[in-house]
Structure 1
Amino acid sequence: MKTSKTKNLIIIKCLTLFFIFLALPQFSNAIDHLGLKIVKGAYSDESIIAFRTGATESFDPPFDAHKLFSNNASVPSIYSKSLENYSLSINSLPPLDLSVQIPVYLKFNNSGTFTINIENNVSLPNLLVQLVDLRDNSVYEINGAQMMFSFNASGAETGASAWFEIRITPTNIQPVVTASGPLTFCSNDSVVLTSSQGDSYLWSTGQTTCSVTVKTSGEVSVTVFDSNGNSAISDSLSITVIPAPVAVINTIGNSSFCPGDSVILYAGYAGIYVWNTGETSNSITVKSAGSYSFTLWNQNNCSAVSQTVIVDILASPIPEITSNTSLAFCDGDSVILNSSCAELFFWSNGQNTKSITVKTHGDYFVKVIDINGCMGYDTVEVRVNFLPLVDLGPDSDLPAGSEVILDAQNSGSTYIWSTGVTTQDITVNTPGEYFVKVTDALGCSNSDTIDFNLIIGIEKFSQEIIELQVFPNPNNGRFNLSFKPFDSDQVMVGIYNNTGKQIMWEKINGTESYNNNFDLSTMAPGVYFFKLMYSENTITKKIMIQ
């Protein structure tokens, strides 16, 4: 603490501020006062600050006196001001209740060395009277009846600002601060500090209520003011805040996953864990949708709650296999199986395309994977129906005057013979080739052809004797037909469809070899018949156009 001495020297190079702060309990009507005097060389000026009953902080005509400033530039001035900002040589204030602060102003016109004399006539006991230099906030105690110190000033002072402040503070009155709990606590907690009674409050935290909530470490005190603006400062309380742990959920895997998968949630901090699922390990494996979090306690018993992680179970794709036709078809046909959209396709036959062509009987399934990697399955059954078995027997001879019954069997089916008959069987009594197409109840068709050859004398007149050939057969409608000559010069040859309609015919000389190219590529694919006819004999040859 700096004490007042007559040899104190303060160098002032700019406008500085000093304050006097007084805080007293109420006392009798005796006039307690402070005498202030400034001296420079042979010149001086005085001012009085008094405390008396009936006086106010405003200008009081019965008690206060205006300051008269000298016209002599060498005379310095010392004075105070009222609330109305009057410059006063005598400033009377109310009797002291608590602390009081009194600004003191200086005015001079030239630089030099100045001396301040303070006469202390405040008679109340247990008072701390101080002089505050507001330039550097130096505080000097006025312990005795008088105080004197000198300082140098350069330039002039207009008196616009206070230089000093005098404080008078009761030494036996101090605010008491009580705490709602321990002064050491976790960072997610707090303590409420409450001051003893006053008219107004100013905490070191900047708050102005009777109670404050403190959440940070540091020294906390309160200044309590009475109705007259007098104040007192409490002792400081030391607040210590212990950092809370950091509770963060990390994930191994995606928090949104396909059915049957899982995600691992874990926390890296050491401590005691309690998940909202009730588990107490530092990691959990989650397979169900929901919200997940945990509370963490560290060694100081401070706790923190983690963020909430939302776990979603993605919907699996539901593929659907569709077909371009019935899943039941006849042998030799096929069906196209098409899967609904996905990212990847895996068929049971090993193919990986969106669509596959199936020709055989069986169960076919597809596994699809969507953009999230989730899988789905679908299965269909493909049924291949057998063709009806049609067998008219081997080609044979048909002696003149005889007849044969041809039976296509497969009762309940529909029939179409080359003769145009639609019954199950027909009776044949003339040589030639006979063809039947059978369609069963499932819509599957099959056919067969039989040749009957005419016997002439003891020799057989047939395709084998004349070497009747069609090449290629089957064909695309373009083919060659040839046979060897025989002993007839009047021969008719023709081509017919399977309904017996004539496509072409011509008359040739049978004693010469026959070799001719035909182009029936414009005709519809199917079974056609070549017929060689002479006298009462007919040879028939089946031609297949694909």
Structure 2
Amino acid sequence: MLKKLPLLLCFWFISHVVVSQITITSPVQRQVIQRDLANKAIVTIVGSYSQPVDELQVRFIPVKTGQGTALDWTVFKTNPRGGLFKGTVTLTGGWYSMEVRGLLRGAVVGNVSRIERVGVGEVFVIAGQSNAGGSGLRSTNETASSDDRVNCANFINDPGYGTSASYIKNFDSKNKSFVTTTTDAFSIIEFSQLSKDVTIGPLGIGPYYWGKVGDALAAKLNVPIVFFNVAWGGASVRVWRESAENPTVGAPSDFQFDSGNINRYMPGYPYANLKAVLGYYGINMGIRAILWMEGETQNLLNLSVEQQNATLPLSQQKPLPVTEASYLDNLKRLITRTRQDLGNDNLTWVVARTSYSGVLNCGVAGALPPKPSPVIVRAQNLAIADQSFSPIFPGPFTDNIQVDKIGDRDQCVHFTGSGLDEAANSWINSLTSPVSSNDSRNFFDLNAPIMADTIPAVNLTCISNQKLGLSLPAGYSAYQWVSSNYEIMGNTKDVTVGPGTYFAKITKPNGNIIQIPSFTVNANTPPAAPTVSANADLNYCEGTTVGLTSSDGALYEWVASNSNTIVARTKTFNIGTNGTYSVRIIDQNACLSPLSNGVTIVSKPRPVQPTISLKSSTEFCDGQSAKLSSSNVGAIGYLWSNGLTTQDVDIRTAGTFTVRTLGSNGCYSAPSSGVPTVVNPLPTSPTIRATSDTVFCEGSKTRLTLTPANANYVAFNWERNATLSGENASAIDISTTALVKGYVVDAKGCYSKPSNGIWAVRKAKPVSPVIYRVGPYLLAARSTQPVDEYTWSLSGQALATKDTLIRAITEGVYTLQSKRRYPILASASPLVCLSPETSLVTYFDTKSSSTLETAEFKFPDDKGISIYPNPTSGVFSVDSKFNLEGVVLKVYTMAGIEVYVSEKFDFNSRRVLDLSNLPTGTYLLRVDSQSYRLTKQLIITR
């Protein structure tokens, strides 16, 4: 009897959803999905959710390090509806814990649901007779799997296992108790680790030796393994073939104890179980191969006839019932039927070479000894070797296992004890060993598996708080909706049900069944239709959008009425296409509302697309600009991509620039074609320095040099007082006052930013002074500008005096320069500038009453004393060309009367003689010193 695990699983879902928002219904615990030759499989994830989500993610974590390749959080479904979800991911072979979470607008919602064990690996279906399915000696003949990755479909519930009441221990020899009246109850229920106390469903009696086979394969391939077992004790290949080809008639048993041939199998069996497993589990999980082990019953039939013939005359002896041709024909027809029923000619069979058996009651006295059958093994080998019948692969040869001693095998057929280990090793070797010494590939490298079919999605429609609608895609030949208590709820693709737990089965045209994993649903009243508001005029400008906003909901679906397609899933929908739009909301129960009233938007025309004309090059140096101009057809305004609003613009940055024109209806045109601009970087500023003083006298100069920062230049230029000079030289001379800066110019003609500035300052030199002869022996320096110092020279020799007035005591050429001192910042020494040298002496000629110049100074013929002016009104200047000491001046009348005597003085400069108190007349002036005496006439007139 089959476990009613689907019902139990449904109850678990109901209780689980009370505290959880995400429920996983597929894959189930320990389910294994068949991998492909690239070690990959598409895993379908099915479940339900009870809070609004717009994205579902899954991740797979290896149960142990190295047991697979982790897949981090991956989106497998977006915008689910109705509380149910289905999606797929591609997963690498391995043994995983699986987690699913829901997100709403990027944030995790509710719980993270987890399946502790799920895998991508190998799926096998075991078929044949008892040496494939297991014997009744379960307590002594089981080899449980020690690897957590080895699994089975644990159909049979044996609560008395390990006691005398064990169902399996006391099994019915005809296996009727293992068969349900229909295979419709098959379901993706639960899987178990292949431990000692489970069975390999639907018919396998305990682990037998398959646990050891599974351990070896899991270790070798590093993927999980799952077994199904439909082997039927005593069922020959003929019975299998006949039950496949005539499913409505029970196939006669090979063990008839009367002449009426009344012992028959149930109609369709044992093949019905194989067909159901292939068409159900093979479709939903994929399958690597059928592992076939049968031949013992066929040999037993031949041995029984041989034993009878041994007592009969030759003329009465019967032919052997099983021939090489009959076995080969039955096997080929059976394989062909499985591929037809699965709908895939690539279904692989692995055929064991096995035949060793004895007659019934082989242990009684006189029974023919057990032995192998070369006829049957040859037929098996012929099937394997037939390339037109590929894919078919050689399984183990077992006729050499446990044959040394009669009785080692249970009933002369079933492996026991160490024979189970040998049988397991034989299967392991046949599946994993290289095909030949020259070809290292094995069975798993050469035989492509059948991959799992796609599970279609169930759509849910909220009707009321009592009813909901469920639907499946069209195109299948049959539908079946089943409740948690196995009540058939409907046989069409659409069904209306109440809240509860359901699963569904759909039948493909070839009869294969895809199961929709069980799911729990609640009935809810759908929300009312939302309302829509707009943020702009519905008569909008072409090229812009109108924002349509829905009233509140958990999720949103905007629909274009002309196509009935979803165009947006946000509360506010910005649309720029003419049409009528409606929205429906999804509430917190994942129910869809009716569509809102439609909102129609119609566009206004925009001006023609403008063009941009270039008024300068679009490639320019940093700091310069490109001049662009927009066309003006139909334009009352302009809007450039950089925000400027004039028809002509100066662009100073790099980029691509467009312009839109504004029309009289308030609409902007489409942007013009873009005009790219290129801004060439400036070369690095050079450094300027002076090689001489930058403050200099008029007539002198300073030299400035320019040092580039790097080699990115091809020319120089200079700036004087903010005016470029055009000088292409690394050094220039400056002779005027100016603020000087330098530039380098690169290959693109770009000027660097200016160098540091240097002030060149030209100081004016004094104007040429004038030498005035202010007395017969006195020369005076005169200048129209301030002078700090004078320099006198006589006939090329500098005089020591710096005075403005000097006594000329020697005839010759006198020259004069004026000197100006300029203080210099950061220098202790001033700048000294000299005037041009003056060599002409200016004097007043009394004879001509005019000013004259002379190049050479000569003394007057006055014997060394000069009186001037003379005559005068009484005030005379008296000068001597000699420096006299102890001089006394005396004045006499013509009568010799002394009228004036001076104090004694040193005569080294002009003296003023004031005789204003004397009457007019002629007088005598006597100059008297120890070394010099002279008398001259004075005339006073008034």
Q: Normalized against structure 1, the TM-score is what? A: 0.33
Answer 1 or 2: higher relative contact order, Cα 8 Å, separation at least 6.
Answer: 1
